[in-house]
Amino acid sequence: MSSQESYGSRLPYKFLVGLVTIVILFLEAPLIILVIQSFTAESYLAFPPPSYGIRWYKEVLTSEDWLNSISLSLIIAAVVTPLSLVLGTMAAFALDRGPKKLKHGLQTIMIAPMVLPHIVLGLGLFKMALQLDIDDSMLAYIPAHLTITIPFVIISVGASLQTFEVSLEEAARSLGASRFWAVWYITLPIIRPALIAGSIFSFIISFDEFIITFFLTTFQRTLPIEMFSTLMYQVKPSIAAVSTLTLAVTAFLTAMLILRGQVTSGDKVIK
Amino acid sequence: MSRNSDQNYGALWLLTPTVLLYLATFFVPLIMLGVLSFARFEASVTTLGFYFDNYVKIFSDGITLKIFFQTVRLSLMITFWCLILGYPVALLMRSCSPKMKMVLLFCVVSPLLTSIIVRNVAWLLILGRTGIINDTLIQWDLISKPLPLMYNEFGVILAVVHVYLSFMVLPLFGALNSINSSIEEAASSLGAPYWRVFLSVTLPLSLPGVMAGCTLVFILSMGVYLTPVIMGGNFVLTLPMLITESVREQYDWPFASAMALMLLLAIGFMVILSSGVQRLVGRR
């Protein structure tokens, strides 16, 4: 047998790359177009915009309705993120360090809210909030958002704990550190990328959450709800500007998530 | 001190806060919906009890069941298109350079993290009556009146596929990545052409990922509310829209709860079906 061709080199690369390019265009082009349209200086949406400017950003950032909804969303996400990180990390530790035979069952229960359609979860939460008379308030939004963000923290931290070398923690403990300080100084710094990932997931999910909050609110409006009601009424360039602002926040956090995940897990995690 | 031997029940107390939270936000609300679904709703008054009124209504009012099956059909079509579009991406991600992989990963993960509403706005600007496509085509005199690109099933499917494609690609990539490529090398070195290796080695071995991705996308699609409302107007009705309307407009909690339970049953059925298929394939 002469020159052996490896399977990899025989992949129909060009065909595959062509297909994937189309898919990626399908994924990203609408967003790029949205961003371009948001910089229109006209009072209507057209592509490409006849003239450019930041007129609609000014309008959004000076409108009381938009600012109120943006700050409500930011406040909710800012409260939800740290709580979600702490509760989710505790749960992930319990699942990792607890009895092995219970792990699978418990894990299924702990991430169950993720699989439940949010429409059903929202319906149930709305009923519960009405019963307790806490609908249309933070007391309803925050536990509701936590329920959908915690599973993401459990999954990302849990995955990291699985590859974590427990002997490092045991070494610290054998040198006299208590369980808590061993975890604090050894384990948590090593699984930091997962902690960051969990926080970013929590923030974005809470910030973007629509349907559950939609059930829970009557007068208060989070950003997605304000966007939805504006959209149902009229499609104006301001909606493109707000969408772009939201996109910028989430894209930035996503980029951080991916870059940090790669950078930190490369040189920090001890193999 | 091996980890496997110690049955550390003490660690379980760390679950307490989350379990307490879930009790209030997840388990009790679900039980309440279950109880409500058997209540009776007459003249705007809900009477608790054990009635089958709501379930009978679902099957007999002529519209709910139709919308339920429409939701299932739409979800299946969305799942199908996600699989068709997602598989090539996962395949390329597996065999390209690490740098390229990061780029693809970013493209795939970013939709997962940008709000559904932003993506729907983007499609609205493209597919709408005065959207980019119609505007351009009219300007070029190719058509005289706008094409119906949204406010129909096409628009809804397109926009939902756009949002959920990543949920298909990630499990597919996971499954493809765990295949030992020496198996493919072996088949290939024995003279099998690429497509043959793909069909009889790669594809069957990636089946767990296919099933996981399809189940995930199907479940998500069954529950999607926002996209059908924005992209479908009132022309594409789905079960989540019906549920929302009956609670928010008619305050008919019992009927809404029954529909929610029906949605859960459909999803449960799908999960059992897919794990059954997986076991069947695994045994082979």
Q: What is the C-alpha to C-alpha distance for residues A256 and B64, in angstroms, rounded to an integer?
A: 45
Question: What does the pLDDT read at residue A215?
Answer: 94
CA distance B116 to chain A (A): 8
> How far apart are alpha carbons A196 and A262 in whole angstroms?
12
Q: What is the pLDDT of residue A266?
A: 39
Neighbour tally for A15: CB within 10 Å: 11
H runs (alpha helix) in chain B: 16-22, 28-36, 53-60, 64-95, 98-113, 116-127, 132-139, 153-177, 181-189, 194-197, 203-205, 207-222, 226-232, 239-248, 253-283
Give the pLDDT confidence of A230-264 residue by residue, as tens digits: 888 888 888 889 988 988 888 788 777 767 654 44
Chain A neighbors of B243, CB-CB under 8 A = 119, 123
> How many residue contacts between A and B have a Cβ separation below 8 Å?
251
- B138 touches A: beta carbon within 8 Å: no
Instruction: Flag if A47 and B253 touch (Cβ within 8 Å).
Output: no
| Average per-residue pLDDT for chain B | 87
Separation CA B218–CA B267 (nearest Å): 8
Contacts B267 to A, Cβ<8 Å: 117
The length of chain B in residues reads 284
Chain A: residue whose CA lies nearest to B18 = A87
Instruction: Evaluate whether the domain defined by B62-283 bears CATH number 1.20.1740.10.
Output: no
Shortest CA gap A83–chain B (Å): 10
Contact B110 A251 (CB under 8 A): yes
Instruction: With CB atoms and an 8 Å threshold, state whether A210 touches B226.
Output: yes
**Cβ neighbours of residue A229 under 8 Å, at least 6 residues apart?**
A221
- Asked which of A30-39, B221-230, B274-283 is least confident by mean pLDDT, the reply is B274-283
d(CA A228, CA A12): 44
User: Quick one: angle between helices B253-283 and A118-132, nearest 10?
Assistant: 140
Tokens representing A128 are: 């519960």
What letter represents residue B111's amino acid?
A: P
Q: Dmax over Cα atoms in chain B, in whole Å?
A: 78
What six digits make up the tokens of B185? 């090398």
Nearest by CB to residue B32, choosing from A113, A124, A215, is A124
Distance of alpha carbon A146 from alpha carbon A79, whole angstroms: 10
Minimum distance, in Å, between the CA of residue A246 and any CA atom of chain B: 8
pTM for this model (two decimals): 0.86
What is the pLDDT at residue B181? 81
Residues of chain A with pLDDT under 50: 1-4, 262-271
Decide if B90 touches A, using CB distance below 8 A.
no
- If you average pLDDT over residues B263-274, what whole number do you get? 91
> Among B91, B108, B226, whose Cβ lies nearest the Cβ of A16?
B91
What does the radius of gyration of chain A's CA atoms come to, in whole angstroms? 23
* Domain assignments of chain B as residue spans, ordered by start: 62-283
Contacts of B187 in chain A (CB under 8 A): 7
Give the pLDDT mean for B7-25: 88
C-alpha triplet B110, B263, A112: angle, nearest 5° = 55
Which residues 43-82 on chain B approach chain A with CB closer than 8 angstroms?
none
Assess contact for B244 and B229: CB atoms under 8 A: no
The reported pLDDT for the residue numbered A2 is 37
Instruction: Measure Cα distances from B27 to A113, A137, B34 in Å.
Output: 10, 21, 11
Gap between the Cα atoms of B203 and B87, Å rounded: 10
Residues from chain B that touch A96, judged by Cβ atoms under 8 A, are 11
User: In the prediction, which pLDDT does A133 show?
Assistant: 92
Are the Cβ atoms of B118 and A24 closer than 8 angstroms?
no
Question: Within 13 Å, how many C-alpha atoms sit on residue B143's CB side?
Answer: 12
Closest CB to B92 among A16, A28, A170: A16
Residue-level pLDDT at A271: 31
pLDDT at B195 over 90: no
Chain B contact set for A16 (CB, 8 A):
88, 91-92
Nearest to A103 by CA among B16, B279, B9, B276: B9
CB B64 within 8 A of CB B261: no
Tokens matching residue A190: 């090593």
Select from A33, A131, A255 the Cβ nearest to the Cβ of B122: A33
Alpha-carbon distance of B107 to B96, in angstroms, equals 15
Report whether B183 contacts B201 (CB < 8 A): yes
Interface contact flag, A210 B115, Cβ < 8 Å:
yes
The interface predicted TM-score of the complex, written ipTM, equals 0.87
The minimum CA-CA distance between A62 and chain B, rounded to whole Å, is 21
Q: Do B25 and A90 touch (CB under 8 A)?
A: no
CA distance A172 to chain B (A): 14
Spatial CB neighbours of B21, under 8 Å, sequence gap ≥ 6: A87, A143, A146, A147, A150
Q: How far apart are CA A182 and CA B226, in angstroms?
A: 46
C-beta neighbour count of B248 within 10 angstroms? 13
One-letter amino acid identity for B57? K
How close is the nearest chain A Cα to the Cα of B57, in Å? 19
Residue B265's pLDDT band (cuts 50, 70, 90) = very high
Where does B39-97 have alpha helices with state H? 53-60, 64-95
Report the pLDDT value the prediction gives residue A263, as an integer from 0 to 100: 43
Q: How confident is the model at residue B69 (pLDDT cuts 50, 70, 90)?
A: very high
Yes or no, beta carbons of B240 and A119 under 8 Å apart = yes
Q: Locate the chain B residue with the closest alpha carbon to A7.
A: B185
B2 — alpha (psi -120 to 50), left (phi > 0) or beta?
Answer: beta
Count of Cβ atoms closer than 10 Å to residue A112 Cβ: 15
What local confidence, expressed as pLDDT, does residue B47 receive? 81
CB proximity B234 to A under 8 Å: no
Query: Going from the N-terminus, what domains does chain A have, and what CATH number goes with each?
Result: 11-53 (no CATH), 63-267 (1.10.3720.10)
Residue A40 has what DSSP assignment?
Answer: B
Give dist(CA B239, CA B222) in Å, integer: 8
